[in-house]
Amino acid sequence: MPNNPGFLYNYQTVRQLGIVPLKAGIQAIEFQAEFSGGGSGLGEQISIWTYDQKGDSFWPALTITSNESIQCKVISTGPLAGYVISADAVWQSDKGEAHFDAHQFEISVYRLSGQFYLKVLTYLTTQKYGGEGERNQTDAIGGEMTRIRSLLKAIRQ
């Protein structure tokens, strides 16, 4: 995939590049980038790359993209070690929401399975979390952790 000339990355600005622990003894590279084609929105991408010793190469284990505002948390300790949680703002203009208002978020939870991630949970928050125009921007993932843990326990993940 990464060595294929048809594989395109739309990166304009690299926001973060670093080594992150996924869980005990396993590390990866986290890459966050964004692209602006003009206007008020950004295309954002977060990817986690794991190392394949056999092939002596890195592979994208997880890629998350968004056209608006995304939050992402890699959990490296505790019972959710190895999980990645993302929160993507859902702009409901048909319900009168302004672009920079508080929004509901789509929460997605991914579990590390070998060298790759599997999506194990997705839901829309009932609560709205502060947007860019709000005085108190809110961490949607932090606000949803109790519900996330409860749902993962219910589906035995």
Distance CA 99, CA 18 (A): 31
Question: What is the pLDDT, as a whole number, of residue 135?
Answer: 57
What pLDDT score was predicted for residue 144?
95
Q: Residue 75 to residues 23, 60, 95, 116, 121: CA-CA distances in angstroms? A: 8, 17, 34, 15, 15
Strand order of the sheet with strand 116-124?
A: 70-74, 83-90, 104-113, 116-124
In angstroms, what CA-CA distances link 89 with 4, 12, 98, 132?
Answer: 32, 21, 12, 11
pLDDT digits (tens, 9 = 90+) for 13-67: 888 899 999 988 888 999 988 877 666 667 788 899 998 888 888 888 998 887 6
- Dmax of the chain from CA atoms? 53
What pLDDT does residue 119 have?
96
Q: Is the pLDDT of residue 10 over 90?
A: no
Q: Domain spans of the chain?
A: 13-154
- pLDDT of res. 131: 61
pLDDT for 86: 94
Q: How far apart are the C-alpha atoms of 90 and 15, rounded to whole Å?
A: 22
For residue 1, pLDDT beyond 80: no
Q: How far is Cα of residue 123 from the mean position of the Cα atoms in its chain? A: 14
Mean pLDDT along residues 123-137: 75
The whole-number pLDDT of residue 132 equals 61
67-123 pLDDT, tens digit each: 667 889 999 999 999 999 999 888 887 887 777 778 889 999 999 998 899 999 999
**Helix, strand or coil for residue 50?**
strand
Q: Evaluate the CA torsion angle 43, 11, 49, 52 in order and state its sign.
A: positive
